[in-house]
Structure 1
Amino acid sequence: MCGTPVPHPGRGRPPVYCSRSCQARAYRRRKRPLPSPDPPGPPDAAPAPGPVGTRARRRLGIAEAVWRIAARQGLEAASMRAVAAEAGVSLRVVQYHFDSKHALLVDALRLLHEENERLARERIRYDMTDPRGLLRALLEEFLPLDDQRAFALRVFAAYYARSLTDPELAAVFLSAEQPLERLVADIIAAGGAPGAAAPGLDHRHEADMLVAGATGLGVDVLHGRRSLAEVRAVLDYHVDRVFRAGTASRPGGG
């Protein structure tokens, strides 16, 4: 085994090893797994780390499965196993990318925010020279004007319902930062520079009311309680109250 000559005994089976230490080394060598250029793993094995882009796409695919379940059945139905089945991957793959169900739900919410922001930026022309038109376009993002926005609104409603009984999720979902309210307040403040905004307004209070109102009106449209035309009329009324009518160009057709 090691190349050392082994004397042949007078009788019996000839020895294979020259010593006990040589025999021990051979045993350890047999127990060591053989190297393989591409060892196959079990079907549910966690994937090997890959390029960042591949990992991000897989995480987004799993998050999208959470969104679909939440929109159809609510977050209570979004178990790790149900998400894996919806995403078409094994449970081990979901557990590899997300440490826990809480981490999965939180990251899926963050990814939904990022996706909605990306789409909104594509739809809205950010023009602070027309603060009224910008504010009106931003508020319409809360309405189910197409399948994508209706879907997102259903998912957010599912998260809101779950946050009422899940303090950990509520801490994330009900963030104290309120970026949308701050943006709306900034738009109203910018409108005051050229004298377009009505005098005596508290920008932050107006922003809180507009964001909360637009969100609630969007849910009313989902429920069929109000029509889009009715909701747009309500938004126009409140935006006109904030900005003096006629001082900024109104957006085209509603």
Structure 2
Amino acid sequence: MRDEKKAVCLMCGKPTSRPERGRPPVYCSRSCQARAYRRRKQRLPAPGVPVEPPEARPTDVRARQRRRIAEAVWRIAAERGLDAASMRTIAAEARVSLRVVQYHFDSKHALMVEALRLLHEENERLARARIPVGMADPRGLLRSLLDEFLPLDDQRAFALRVFAAYYARSLTDPALAAVFLAAEQPLERLVADIIGAGEAAGGAAPGLDRNHEADLLVAGATGLGLDVVHGRRSLAEVRAVLDYHVERILPGA
């Protein structure tokens, strides 16, 4: 005797048509069948654990493209200087169309500024991973910080070349200089704070002006790092000079 019980789709609950012969279908459509297959492929939650809807994946295509274009600016700046960085040249280096570059950046100046900002962010991220946290050892912390100005690896050497290109361009571009040579001096303040921690611990030389010493160390490390890039000095010579000044400022730290 035929079972008159109504058959419904296991996915959406809609009625399914009963064939004259054979077993009734368990899904009302191929779409529901595909959804069921995908669900079986997913890991089932533990019993009693509420099922949360999956978070929407952020759309980061725009950010990746902007980063790709900025990296093209870095390579051109390091190898040929910013004077060679036309919008068309940047597009070719990034392997995107000129229209894509113009879509993301209204002007070449806006692109230059954004590329510099992203490079600062990248350097800060890498430096934070390399520099020990805390002021327990002011002298060791100061040495680690000054190392970030030196071309100790390919990444830092590359960044120094890019910054040198930006500095040269800023001499004739007041708008870019306003961004590149900002009034704030966070590195100098950080170095002054480290020297201050050494003073508080009784390990600093007497009669220091921590701000003047910080200005000298940052400017000196920057210039010495570029000397190494140019091949004018060796890395060992430069580190010996910086160690001398760190030892002079924090002899007992």
Question: So what's the TM-score if we normalise by structure 2?
Answer: 0.76
Segments of 5+ residues of structure 2 without an aligned counterpart are 1-56
Deviations 1:206-250 (A, max 9, x none): 111000000000011011111011001000000011102xx33xx
The reply to whether residue 155 of structure 1 matches residue 162 of structure 2 is: yes
Query: In structure 1, which of residues 179, 183, 186 is the aligned counterpart of residue 190 of structure 2?
Result: 183
Deviations 1:127-182 (A, max 9, x none): 30101100000001100011100000000000000000000000000111011111
Q: Distance in 1 between matches of 2:182 and 2:116?
A: 12
Runs of 4+ in 1 over 4 A off after TM superposition: none
Q: Distance in 2 between matches of 1:134 and 1:53?
A: 36
Aligned equivalent of 2:77: 70
Residue identity matched to 2:88: R
Aligned equivalent of 2:201: 194
Q: Distance in 2 between matches of 1:56 and 1:182?
A: 31
Quote the offset at 1:124 in angstroms.
Answer: 1.1
Matches within 5 A, 1:1-80: 51-80=58-87
Query: In structure 2, which of residues 133, 138, 141 is the aligned counterpart of residue 126 of structure 1?
Result: 133
Aligned equivalent of 2:33: none
Q: Distance in 2 between matches of 1:176 and 1:110?
A: 15
SS of aligned partner of 2:208? coil
Q: Distance in 2 between matches of 1:52 and 1:71?
A: 31
Q: Matched residues, percent identical?
A: 81
CA RMSD of aligned residues (A): 1.2
Q: Distance in 2 between matches of 1:80 and 1:187?
A: 42
SS of aligned partner of 2:60? helix
Residue identity matched to 1:209: L
Residue identity matched to 1:135: L
The reply to whether residue 97 of structure 1 matches residue 115 of structure 2 is: no
Q: Distance in 1 between matches of 2:94 and 2:132?
A: 34
Deviations 1:36-79 (A, max 9, x none): xxxxxxxxxxxxxx954221111111000000000000000011
Aligned equivalent of 1:208: 215
Query: In structure 1, which of residues 82, 92, 106 is the aligned counterpart of residue 89 of structure 2?
Result: 82
Question: So what's the TM-score if we normalise by structure 1?
Answer: 0.76
Aligned equivalent of 1:144: 151
Segments of 5+ residues of structure 1 without an aligned counterpart are 1-49, 249-254
Question: Paired residues, what number?
Answer: 197
- More divergent stretch after superposition (199-208 vs 101-110): 199-208
Quote the offset at 1:191 in angstroms.
Answer: 1.2
